[in-house]
A and B are shown apart, each in its own frame.
Chain A
Amino acid sequence: MPESLRLALAVAGKDIRAELRSRTALLSAVVFAALVLVVFNFARDPTAIAAADLAPSVLWVTFALAAMVALNRAFTVEREHGAIDGLLLAPVPRGALFLGKLLANLAFVGTVEAVTLPLFVLFFNVDLTAALPGIIGVTALATVGFVSVGTVFSAMAVRTRFAELMLPVLLLPFMVPPIIGAVQVTARLLAGRPLSEMLGWLRLLALYDVVFVTLCTMAFGAVVDE
């Protein structure tokens, strides 16, 4: 295993362990996602709009909001007691450090999404049996891109005065392309459309991931190094 990957996994492991020991953040994020779903249910007229028409948007707005809550905590934990300084003093290349934080955030956001999805099926009575592998795939594809940008912005936002407000203001424009793509693909998956109708969107999502993961890995050093 290459050295930088081993270091990245060590950083991610540290974050995941710390999270599993307290579980407060993860639990709050899951409850938050469930609440958003419940609120959405009352934000529509069930006699006028079928659940299936609204389902892709509901799912993705919930994922986006939950990811925002999850990302807000990614660097606040490092800030307490100056933990970030210890991390930066360790002989870890900044690229590996970024990948480690990214993996930990993906694990966190992925867990919230994994809990939200069954709740979504339960609340909105959507039949996912045929579309499930596709939905998991497109969720992974879209999540990697915006969590990558979110990891960099989260590291910046903790240094500002209104961190909880700064992160969404910076990150939401960056969530637009992945969310549009993911909603389009999800809608087609739920309608049982052929893969050829989604290929353009999937390419866009994949390209977004490649461009922003690369760019964020390179730019992360400029954010954390004084």
Chain B
Amino acid sequence: MTPTEAAARTLTRRGLRISVAALAALAGVYVLALGYTPVEARQGVAQKIFYLHVPAAWCALMAFSLVGLTSALYLWLHDPRLDRFAAASAEVGVAFSAVMLTTGPIWAKPIWGTWWTWDARLTLTLFLFFLFIGYLALRASLHDPQERARFSAVVGILGMLLVPFIHLSVYLFRTLHPQPVVLKPSAPSLPPEMLRTLLISMLVFTLLYLGLVTLRYGLALAEEARDEAADAAR
């Protein structure tokens, strides 16, 4: 077994173990959200989706920020590990965005009376989702690994700088999205049971992010090992 193959196997296994553990913990989050937290007075049970929606949004935004950061570092250092990480993080970020963009409307229909609204934050996250679908499509349509790494790093950096512009330009449409309840200047305005469940869920989602990124990184290494073997055999 070549060193690349060995590393790919170790990382894939580790990623799989972390992801399975996170998924098991996620089942625990469901139990907590349904059994432990009180029912919100005005929104009723619809509010329970908050414990999935907010952590998924947090992970998606973290994933995309890390893609931007590692892209910038890649153009500077040209380390293939940074490129593999950016690719893994973008894929996992798209998955979490999909969770965020599906749980959001399910909640919005009973509460706002509409599935979708062109609110600043919704629009921003939708465009981030599109941006990273484009990022992945670009990666998929390029074969040369170095070219793929350079091109996607450029898209990653430009995308990171696009975010404040989209935010500014859509902000002027009045915002419907609930205002922050945890990260704001005053103390969190949530009952302790809700806050605790939310924080646990954020941790679980972050763990799931780490597991999936590790798994995806290991798979990228395995693909490289396969290509190396194919080149050697030629």
Contacts and interface: CB of A to CB of B under 8 A. Distances in A.
Contact of B169 (A160, A162, A180, A223): A180
A219 B158 contact: yes
B61 interface: no
Contacts of B146: 226
A222 B170 contact: no
A173 interface: yes
A173 B165 contact: no
Given A156-B138, A160-B142, A212-B161, A222 B153 contact: yes
A173 B154 contact: no
A180 B161 contact: no
Interface centre among B131, B137, B151, B159 (most CB of A within 10 A): B151
Contact of A215 (B131, B141, B157, B172): B157
A223 B158 contact: no
A161 interface: yes
Main secondary structure of the interface of A (DSSP, over half): helix
A174 B135 CA distance: 13
B134 interface: yes
B147 interface: yes
Nearest to A156: B151
B142 A152 contact: no
Q: How large is the interface on B (under 10, 10 to 19, 20 to 34, 35 or more residues)?
A: 20 to 34
Contacts of A173: 127, 130-131, 134, 159, 162, 166
B157 A219 contact: yes
Given A170-B134, A219-B75, A226-B147, A204 B155 contact: no
A193 to B, nearest CB: 15
A212 B155 CA distance: 12
Nearest to B146: A226
Contacts of A216: 158
A170 B147 contact: no
A110 interface: no
Contact of A177 (B130, B134, B159, B165): B165
B39 to A, nearest CB: 39
Interface in A154-187: 156, 159-162, 166, 169-170, 172-174, 176-177, 180-181, 184
A169 B141 CA distance: 13
Interface in B26-79: 75
Interface in B156-190: 157-159, 161-162, 165-166, 168-170, 172
Which of A149, A160, A166, A172 gathers most chain B CB within 10 Å?
A: A160
B94 to A, nearest CB: 14
A149 B161 CA distance: 12
B169 to A, nearest CB: 4
A170 B138 contact: yes
Contacts of B161: 211-212, 215
Centre residue among A166, A176, A219 by max chain B CB count within 10 A: A176
Contacts of B155: 153, 156, 170
Contacts of A180: 169-170
17 contacts: A153-B155, A156-B151, A156-B155, A159-B142, A159-B147, A160-B141, A173-B131, A176-B166, A177-B168, A177-B169, A200-B172, A204-B165, A204-B169, A212-B158, A219-B157, A219-B158, A223-B154
Given A173-B162, A222-B75, 7 more contacts: A159-B151, A160-B138, A176-B169, A177-B166, A184-B172, A216-B158, A223-B150
Interface of A: 149, 152-153, 156, 159-162, 166, 169-170, 172-174, 176-177, 180-181, 184, 200, 204, 207-208, 211-212, 215-216, 219, 222-223, 226
Across chains A and B, which 4 residue pairs bring their CB atoms closest together, nearest first? A160-B141, A177-B165, A177-B169, A180-B169
